[in-house]
Structure 1
Amino acid sequence: MRILSAGDEFVGTDLLQAAVRAELAGTGVDPEFRELSLPWPIEPFGPVAEVNEASGTEEQVIEALDGAEVAVTQMAPFTGKVFEAAPNLKLVSVCRGGPVNVDLAAATEAGVAVTFAPGRNAAAAAEFAVGLLLAAMRRISTSSAELLAGTWRGDYYAYPNAGVELEGTTVGLVGYGAIGARVAKVLLAFGAKVLVADPYADRAAVEAAGAELVELDELMRRSFAVSLHARLTEETRNLIDAEKLALLPHGAVLVNSARGGLLDYSPLPEMLRSGRLGAVALDVYDVEPPPADWALRDAPNVIATPHLAGASKQTADRAAAIVAAEVGRYVRGEALANVANPDVLTR
């Protein structure tokens, strides 16, 4: 069986191949690998033709496929043009939480099943979000940067400038999927009171975990800290805008390690300068990387990291294992676990 392993600098080609070989051991199928190495994350992803967040070109993928029946990847663009040029292709297994690098309509038309890897980075992203929250509430990152720059900020110990503990603080989580639920669990262990806003969350499950399910406006009014964990859709784009930010208590903390498009960034600089927002911790942006004249560069109490929330070695290992497991199911004739275009199964 010919398989394209289109890896990158995070989930590498070798890692994908090793996982697939391990999964197919004992099946009698000897994979013949075609290889494509992509430059992400050294080079940022971006749109390719009609798909979003891809790395590499359509021409590279078409050449690398060369009659492959299966493809495993994280970032390679699978567009209508690619599917049209790859008549032997039957399965594309994407090791991401959503296959945004695949044209699902074109895949379905071509009879290609597309799978994805939900939860592969849930632990890493949840830990990172809590880390950002702690860093912002206790001034860990800003005070460290100032000390290394030669400034000893003893005034941070003065009562008006002192940080705020998680214990006893109300934290609002916008989104309660695999990551949001993990964040809630950790915050509750710290002794925080956790509010959740998610129209798709199961109330009984939220309450059983020890959190409270509320409407978004109520969450914004009651939460001293808010962390975003929703998926980016047309429904959630700019979900947290100036109107929603104005509902927050004075001096509140905002964390976004989910998707840049969830948040309207334009009100943040002035809200930080006025003290209306106490701190902002960001791992994702409306434009990545932020431009040189990015307004938040000069705003106070900003923590900014370069889209690292999911970047753990375990995430890469887990992602490769998940896509390999789908290849194993395909080879054995079993039902695929996470199909993004289920209509293809009836074709």
Structure 2
Amino acid sequence: MSEPLRITAAGDHFVLPGLIARAVADEVGEQAVEIRELTLGWPLEPFGPVAEVTEASDAEEELIGALSGAEVLVTQMGPVTERVLAASPSLRLVVVCRGGPVNVNLEAAKAHDVRVCFTPGRNAAATAEFTVGLLLAALRRIPQAHHLLAGQGSWEGAAYYTYENSGLELEDLPVGLVGYGAVGSRVARVLCAFGAQVMVHDPYVRGEIHGLRVPFLDDLLRRSRVITLHARLTEETRGLIGARELALLPPGAVVVNAARGPLLDEEALCDALESGRLSAAALDTYAREPVPADSRLLGLAERVVMTPHLGGASRAVAEKAARIAAEEVGRWLRGEPPAHCLT
């Protein structure tokens, strides 16, 4: 009988190491693996740059200890640095439970003959649902009304029932989606079910879509009472929606961003909100995270719905990430081509 595959499940308080261990055992069989579990601090402890990698838990020593003799690492926030790789000569496969392996030194992994896989799509449904939730909250002033009643004990919500201050409803509302990937396409389907007039701008998507395709971004902006952002963050899309673009929106429009903060020029957004050009915004991602204490957004609570990057925070996301990672481990063990691999 061959020796079991030695795996380190370096989870955290979201993608639990136990979730990873169970998913791997279900995929390849409990007798085929020996799993060591390690719990890293995120999200109770913030991630950040660690040595030469970004967005990782500061836990090189702990990870090196847990990787002793391990051939496979499955992790979300483990710092897979040159130092960690050099100290783990048995390691052959790293699977990152995220949409991209930003916590892995890919050049060093290649030099050490370590294959690196990741788990795209794990949070698409959760982020799409959260986006629609943000949109509804902004349109109907739900957080403001909640604060008035639950925070102040006041039933005096009459101002929100005046014509000028009452919210918009999704039925027949022109809503423009900037980007139509895994998240945007789900948002489009949901908004169509609400009866919204869905329009989509994405120059990279071909084939049928839910809604009306609009080839030019400026045209989409001019026609949309609401825009939601779903584009990838690249050098081309950084600052995609700035002062010029916001000025193209109809007066009283609403902007929603649960994709990437730098897609949107926050200073221009604040200017448009303060001037009354925009009626509301809903944000889950920001140019700087955490949001600085002096951010102008914090002074616009009456017009802005803000959440601290929680779009992917669902139990299903953690479970999907563990399952997709386990499937990659199974493919590697069986000698099959990986589904999502960079090295």
Q: TM-score range by the shorter chain?
A: over 0.9
Cα pair distance change 1:63/1:217, threshold 3 Å:
farther
AA aligned opposite 2:8: L
Whether 2:222 is the aligned partner of 1:205: answer no
The residue that corresponds to 1:333 in the other structure is 335
Look up the equivalent residue of 1:295 and give its one-letter code. Answer: R
Establish whether residue 171 from structure 1 lines up as the match of residue 172 from structure 2.
Answer: no
- Confirm whether residue 227 of structure 1 aligns to residue 231 of structure 2: no
Q: Does 1:279 align with 2:283?
A: no
| Bigger mean CA deviation after superposition, 121-130 or 108-117 | 108-117
- Choose the corresponding residue for 2:61, options 44, 59, 62: 59
The residue matched to 2:54 in structure 1 has which SS?
A: strand
CA contact (8 A) 1:97 1:118 kept: yes
Could you tell me which residue of structure 2 aligns to residue 261 of structure 1? Answer: 262
2:46 aligned with 1:35, yes or no? Answer: no
Give the fraction of aligned pairs with identical amino acids, expressed as a percent: 57
User: Deviation of residue 190 (structure 1)?
Assistant: 0.9
Q: How many residues align?
A: 336
Instruction: Report if aligned partners of 2:40, 2:59 keep a CA contact under 8 Å in 1.
Output: no
Can you give the 5+ residue segments of structure 2 that lack an aligned partner in the other structure? none
SS at 1:246 equivalent: helix
1:78-117 equivalences under 5 Å are 78-117=80-119
Aligned to 2:26, what secondary structure does the other structure show?
Answer: helix
Cα distance in 1, alignment partners of residues 271 and 109 from structure 2: 45
Indicate the SS of the match to 1:92: strand
CA separation in 1, counterparts of 2:222 and 2:109?
44
> Structure 1: how far apart are the matches of 2:171 and 2:247?
24
Residue equivalent to 1:160: 164
The gaps in structure 1 that reach 5 residues or longer are none
Over aligned residues, Cα RMSD in angstroms? 1.7
**Counterpart in the other structure of 2:320:** 318
Partner residue in 2 for 1:302: 304
* AA at the equivalent of 1:21: A
Q: Which residue of 7, 12, 18 corresponds with 1:8?
A: 12
Deviation at 1:45, TM superposition (A): 2.0
- CA distance, structure 1, for counterparts of residue 216 and residue 49 of structure 2: 34
User: 1:76: Cα distance to partner?
Assistant: 1.2
Moved more, 5-14 or 73-82: 73-82
Q: What's the counterpart of residue 143 of structure 2? A: 141
Aligned mate of 2:25, from 12, 21, 26: 21
TM-score normalised per structure 2: 0.93
Task: State the distance in 2 between where 1:99 and 1:211 align.
Answer: 34
State the partner residue of 2:126.
124
TM-score by length of 1: 0.92
Q: Which shifted more, 46-55 or 303-312?
A: 46-55
Shift of 1:10: 0.5
Q: 1:179 is matched by which residue type in structure 2?
A: V
Q: Given the superposition, is the C-alpha separation of residues 35 and 285 from structure 1 closer, same or farther in structure 2, using an over 3 Å criterion?
A: same
Whole-angstrom distance in 1 between the partners of 2:327 and 2:43: 24
Tell whether 2:46 aligns with 1:44: yes
